[in-house]
Structures are given as C-alpha cells and as structure tokens.
Chains A and B, each alone.
Chain A
Amino acid sequence: MGFVTATADRLTIRNFIETVGIFRTLSSSGFRRFSTYRQATVAATATNTMFGFVRTYVMLAVAGSAVAAGGQVAGYDAPQLVTYVWAGQGLIGVVALWGWTELADRIRSGDVVTDLLRPVHPVLGYLLPDLGRAAYALLTRFVVPVAVGGLVFDMYLPQRAATYPLFAASVLLAVLVCFAGRFLVNAAGYWLLDTRGVLMGWAVCAGMLGGLYFPIRFLPDGLAAAVYLGTPFPSVLQIPLDVLVERDPPAGQLGLLGIQALWAGLLLTACVLVQRRAERRLVVQGG
C-alpha cells in the first residue's frame, strides 16, 4: 500500500460518525493520560480528604450555634454545609480548579506548534482530553472524599430525584467553565513572557469567589448576586454544590444552571477568539 491517499473533508453521515469518534477518542485519551499518574492521584485525593476534615470543623465552628440547634446559616443547615464541604473537596479535582499549566508550558517551549499541525481546532484539542481527565477525577478524586465525609459526618442527601441529573449537568458545565477559564489564563502566555502572576490570580479568585473558602451566599445578597452574575468563579464550584445541597427550589436550581451555561458559552467563545488572535501573533523561534 502506498502512503498517499489523503482526501478532502466530506459532509456525510460517515463524517459525523468520524467526528463522534474523534470526540470519544480524545476524551478517553485524557482519561488514560491521567490514570497513568496513580501516585499523584492518591496524594491529591489524600490531601483533599485531609482538608475536608479541616474545612468541616472550621465551617461548623463558624456556623456555630445557629446550625447546632438545627437552624440555618445563609440558607444552609449543618448537614448541607457538611455535604457542601466534602462534595466541594471532591470537585476541586474534577474541575481542576488550580493545577493546569500545560498550554502555558507548551507556548513557552514552542511545542504549541504541534497543536496547530493537527486537523482539530486547538480549543477542542485541549477541551476533549480535559473532559476525559474530569471523568477520571470523578471516579477517584470525587468519590473518595465524599465517601469519607459520608462515613464520618452527617451529610445531606438530595431529597428530590431531579437534583441528581441537575447536579450531573451542573458538574459538566462547571468543568466547561473551569476549562475555559484555565485555557484563557494559560493563553496569556502568548502575550506574556511569564504567566505565573496570572495563574496565581486565577487560583486566588477561583478559591475565594468560587465558594471554596466559604459559600458565597454568606456574603450580603447584593454582593453575592454580583459575584454570581459578574464573575465565572461561582459557576466552577459554588453552583454545583448549591444544586447538590438543594439550597434553592427547582426553579432556582435551573436558574443557577442557566448562569453556568451562560458563562460556559461566553468563555468558550472567548477561548476561540483569543486562540484566533494568538495565532496571528505567534512567534516560535529555534526550530
């Protein structure tokens, strides 16, 4: 067989099936890539679990007598806060809140060139493996802290069956929003020599405004609404947790998912535009 049989693109059912194949294969590649680092998974899961205990005790101490007597703080009772903390500890790994510098590293080294030589849009080329990575994290880094939290503390379980698919959809949207945010932060590397400052800014904002350090609902209503609507960070962590602990009625849950979908659409569009702009000014020297 000769080597040359390359053909032009086709608009057929077969083409569609092949596209689905690309999605599946690239996603599963992310799953396989991250599953090779088992010790890192164990270390990260252990850390998330340990901090789960710390955060739970701090949260319950801060919430104080109000939740101890069965009452609520900012719409959460004690079991809801416990679930909020432990599911949050699990989601850190699923959405990859902080740790992703692959694109920035590849821009700095010039390896980003090979991303541009593949017949897949670079944003898609990073997004699909990230979904596979998130699936792997869901099975490992999410399950373990939630199971430990459930064994040791009195956790809140959703009372409405619809909450489960809503939570699943919210987690998916959170992964999309977080990926897009991380992609944009990394893409700053096209313009900046060093992206550490931007990455640190993202990490601080994602933790503080994402609801990791404290639920954003602890803030005054107006300020909380501004953070939900004006920044993407609550869409990364706070909203899936609010959906899971049924902090709001079904209509409120749907509204929160709407906010996430809006941010996912906005940020992914921004990724495509930034990538297009970055390609125009790309400089790769030295081979």
Chain B
Amino acid sequence: MNVIEAHGLRKDFTVRVRKGLLRRESRAVAAVDGVDLTVRRGELLGYLGPNGAGKSTTLKMLTGVLHPSGGTVAVCGLTPVPQRIQLARRIGVVFGQRSQLWWDLPLGDSYELLRHIYRVPAAEHAARLRRCRDLLELDPFLDTPVRQLSLGQRMRGELTAALLHGPEVLFLDEPTIGLDVVSKQAVRGFLAELGATGDTTIVLTTHDLADIERLCRRIVVIDHGRVVHDGGIDALHARYGSQRRVVVDFDTAPAAVPTLPGVHLEATAGPRLTFTLDGTASVGALVSALSALGGLRDLAVTEPEIEEVIARLYRS
C-alpha cells in the first residue's frame, strides 16, 4: 500500500528582478517541476539532490506547509494542504535547521505539551518516550531547557518529539546536519532500528551520503526540480558507470601489463599500477593475470564511493 503518492507535483516561486529605477519584472521559477513519487508503507527512502534542487520544497508540499502550484499529492490518503491538521497527527517531521521544541522550556515539558497537542493517551506517550529515552539516551538532558542543549542533544530531542504521537510517516530533512560523529551514529542507529520494524515509513533528505548508504535501500535523486534517478544504490552505480579500482604494488615495475575485457590501466607510478574495472569485469581474473607476472607485493580493491557517483550525477 502506498502512503505517499505524488504525480506531476510542481511548485513555482515568483522572483522579482529589478529592471530599472522603478521597474521590476516578475518571473516564475520552478523549484519543483513535475515530480512523480510513490512510497510504500514501511519504506525508508533517501531523497537526494544538490542545494536548491527542490528537496525541502517537496517535503513541505508533502506535509501540507506549501501549496503545490500543480499536480496531485496524497499522504496517508489525505490531501496535505486542505487536510493539514488531520495529516499533522499522522506524520512526524524533523527539519534539521528548524526546531519544533519550545525554546524556553525543559525538553520534558515540550514532550508533555506535544502529548496534549497530539492528543496521545498518557500510557502510549509514556511507552514511546521510554523507548526513545533508552535508544537516544535522553535522560541526562530531559530537564534541561531546550535553549541550553547542544545541537546533537537537540536533534535527538527533535527526533523524539516527531515520534511521540506514533506517526505513520516520518519526514526527515537533513537530520544529521552539523552533528558530530558520535551524534550522527546515534541518530543513524536509531533510524536504522526504526526502519527495520517496517511500521514507520521514513523519507530522509540529506547531504551526508553515509546516512544514505547506511539507511536507504531506495534513493530518489532530484535535480532542478525533476527526478533524475529512482532506484537502489546498485542501480545508481550501474547507471553512472561506477568503477571499482585495483591498486597493485610490484617489487619492480612489470615489463608488460595484462589486457582483459573491461579492465583499464588508470595510472602507473613506478612499481604501483592502478586499474579501473567496469561493472562486468572480474577482479579475480585480473588478480590471476597479475600474479602470473611475478613479483606481486601488495594488492587493494576499492569499491566505488557513492559520493563520486552522486557528484557525477549532479554534474551530468
């Protein structure tokens, strides 16, 4: 069952440009330009794109904050903008650069407020909060005013706040932005566990590709407001010609280099040779051929990095 269905989703912003002393010209800029997106219940979707690609704008339309300029959208069977208040009870949202907590109040007080706002029965609220306290280690700062929390603590607090009403869909817009390694790991571990239950559908936008590699089986990449890729990480590698590398050290530079289909010599630096392999080429065959040359001292195989693939995709 699909919990998110968007077809031809558009958002145009009007930009005014000065064209003289008094004259200004308006032009429409398409921030989101006909996005089609379907997300099944329980999926953990990575929504990627360069700055200004339209990721956050899409999320704001899916959550009912922004009116779409065109297309249709349904989340949990509801139309986000006219049914925003009903939808708000069924989704959780974390914007990494915004806070939904009450700045002046202790974190625990914010949760109590949210319990009433979302009309969550006390027992359910307590059970969910207990689970989040354990997983995200909230206890040391539960009584601290939000304004005094570190960014990592606040983000763990934000995640909890988004989950206390038991949302069916969790939208996360750059939840690990600015976090240190330990906090990032805590957030990722928590999301991985949440995603593994299959109860909550998660849509994650991030620039941190480690988040994506760790958490998402499906990636949607958006650029200039359009979807340019929708599929798994493997499909992304295959599509954009990701290449594994084999770096080999010999005792002395070999006189001849084996030629195999799909294998290319990328660089030679004295006794060190670097090969790149197309998706179909076999590392084993290359290693056998290199061993036959004799004098093989060391060998390393590096998998293609997703950052490289994404960078290539953004540039294309």
Residues of A within 8 A of B (CB): 1-9, 15, 18, 21-22, 24-26, 29, 32-34, 36-37, 110-111, 113-114, 116-121, 279-280, 282-287
Contacts and interface: CB of A to CB of B under 8 A. Distances in A.
A21 B122 CA distance: 12
Contacts of A117: 63-65, 88, 93, 100
Nearest to A14: B119
Interface stretch (B102-110, B278-286, B294-302): B102-110
Contacts of A283: 13
A24 B90 CA distance: 23
14 contacts: A3-B128, A4-B168, A8-B89, A22-B119, A26-B113, A32-B105, A33-B104, A113-B98, A117-B63, A117-B93, A118-B117, A287-B56, A287-B98, A287-B174
B145 A36 contact: yes
B38 interface: no
B118 A119 contact: yes
Contact of B117 (A15, A22, A34, A36): A22
Contacts of A34: 104
A91 to B, nearest CB: 24
Interface string B175-187: 0010000000000
Interface in B96-137: 96-100, 102, 104-105, 109, 112-113, 116-119, 124, 127-128, 131
Contacts of B117: 22, 25-26, 118-120
Interface stretch (B193-201, B210-218, B231-239, B256-264): B193-201
A6 B105 contact: no
A284 B60 contact: yes
B98 A6 contact: no
B102 A116 contact: no
B163 interface: yes
Contact of A29 (B102, B124, B128): B102
Nearest to B147: A36
Interface in B7-40: 13
B260 to A, nearest CB: 47
B65 A5 contact: no
A6 B165 contact: yes
A284 B63 CA distance: 13
A19 B117 CA distance: 8
B209 to A, nearest CB: 17
Contact of A284 (B65, B84, B127, B131): B65
B60 A113 contact: yes
A287 B96 contact: yes
Interface of B: 13, 56-57, 60, 63-67, 84-86, 88-90, 93, 95-100, 102, 104-105, 109, 112-113, 116-119, 124, 127-128, 131, 145, 163, 165-168, 173-174, 177, 194, 197, 199-200
A283 B11 CA distance: 10
A125 to B, nearest CB: 8
Contacts of B167: 3-4, 6
**Chain A contact residues, majority secondary structure:** loop
A135 B75 CA distance: 40
A59 to B, nearest CB: 36
Report the 10 A-B pairs with minimum CB-CB distance, sorted nearest first.
A25-B116, A119-B88, A287-B97, A1-B127, A33-B104, A114-B100, A6-B90, A5-B166, A18-B119, A4-B199
B109 A3 contact: no
A120 B86 CA distance: 10
Contacts of B100: 114, 117-118
Contact of A3 (B57, B67, B166): B166
A6 B98 CA distance: 24
Select the residue from B64, B105, B112, B113 with max chain A CB neighbours within 10 A: B113
A15 B116 CA distance: 11
Contact of A286 (B88, B97, B99, B105): B97
Given A18-B119, A36-B145, 6 more contacts: A24-B116, A114-B98, A114-B100, A117-B64, A284-B60, A287-B174
B200 to A, nearest CB: 5
Contacts of B199: 2-4
